[in-house]
Amino acid sequence: MATQNKASLPVIKRLPKYYRYLNNLAAEGRDKISSSELARMMGTTASQVRQDFNCFGGFGQQGIGYKVDVLLAEISKLLFGDGELLPTILIGAGRLGTAVSSFISRDTNGYRLLAVFDINPDLIGKEMAGVPIHALDELESFCAKNKPVVAVLCVPRQSATELSGELVRLGIQGFWNFSHYDMSVEYPDVTVENVHLGDSLMSLGYRLRNRDES
């Protein structure tokens, strides 16, 4: 099977959507699906579906289609590897951090939340999503001991710019970044997923205001 390195970022970003739809099909008891049907669900073309899967060696036979359980298992391997959870820390125990930590902890998504960090003394020692909240000045000693590889940033932009370099120095290899600071430009050797919730909301507004235009 081809490696992820040979797939473009747009293809990689479509994998979770394939995974989600295939999970639904498996729950409905579906055995097979064609590239055309999967394309309609994805909002793309059958050719694009086949091209996407060919990046990883292909999972079906032309004219026969794809077995849902096999395709789901193969995409699961691509997304989750051998099932080992990625050790993760979260910075920022505010409202956004609370929501994100709950999502990470309750969903089977390949991550294991180890701890949350914040500067608010009223929160230190409490728990969030079943893990302890530590003072930010404990970050270095915690990382040295527990070796997290992923950091989730739920802090303002200025705080993210101040923290990111330190986190990279402490061994963080990937960021799920909600800070409105596009880190991927500054740290090209670190894997970054920048999340801009406002972009999605503005896109919705545009589509609603312009849906009657040709």
- Structural domain includes residue 36: yes
- Report the CATH number that the domain containing residue 19 is assigned in CATH: 1.10.10.10
Give the number of other Cβ atoms within 10 Å of residue 136's Cβ. Answer: 16
107 and 157, same domain (yes or no) = yes
Give the residue from 80, 107, 142 where a domain finishes. 80
- Structural domain includes residue 210: no
Q: How far is CA 88 from the centre of its chain?
A: 12
57 and 129, same domain (yes or no) = no
136 and 166, same domain (yes or no) = yes
Give the residue from 80, 109, 136 where a domain finishes. 80
179 and 99, same domain (yes or no) = yes
Give the residue from 34, 61, 80 where a domain finishes. 80
Q: What is the pLDDT of residue 4?
A: 43
Q: What is the pLDDT of residue 34?
A: 92
180 and 96, same domain (yes or no) = yes
- Structural domain includes residue 121: yes
91 and 159, same domain (yes or no) = yes
Q: What is the pLDDT of residue 3?
A: 44
- Report the CATH number that the domain containing residue 143 is assigned in CATH: 3.40.50.720
- Structural domain includes residue 205: no
98 and 67, same domain (yes or no) = no
70 and 93, same domain (yes or no) = no
8 and 71, same domain (yes or no) = yes
- Structural domain includes residue 117: yes
36 and 60, same domain (yes or no) = yes
**Overall number of domains in the chain:** 2
Burial profile 186-195: b = 16 or more Cβ within 10 angstroms, e = fewer: eeeebebebb
- The pTM (predicted TM-score) of the whole model is 0.85
Give one DSSP letter per residue of 40-89, joined into a string.
Answer: HHHTS-HHHHHHHHHTTT-SSBTTTBEEHHHHHHHHHHHHHTTSPPEEEE
Q: What is the pLDDT of residue 59?
A: 77
- Structural domain includes residue 44: yes
Q: What is the pLDDT of residue 213?
A: 62
71 and 93, same domain (yes or no) = no
94 and 63, same domain (yes or no) = no
Range of the domain at 69: 4-80
Q: What does residue 120 show for φ and ψ, rounded to 5 degrees?
A: -75, 115
- Residue numbers of the chain with a pLDDT score lower than 70: 1-6, 60-63, 107-108, 185, 213-214
Q: What is the pLDDT of residue 60?
A: 66
Q: What is the pLDDT of residue 185?
A: 65
Q: What is the pLDDT of residue 21?
A: 95
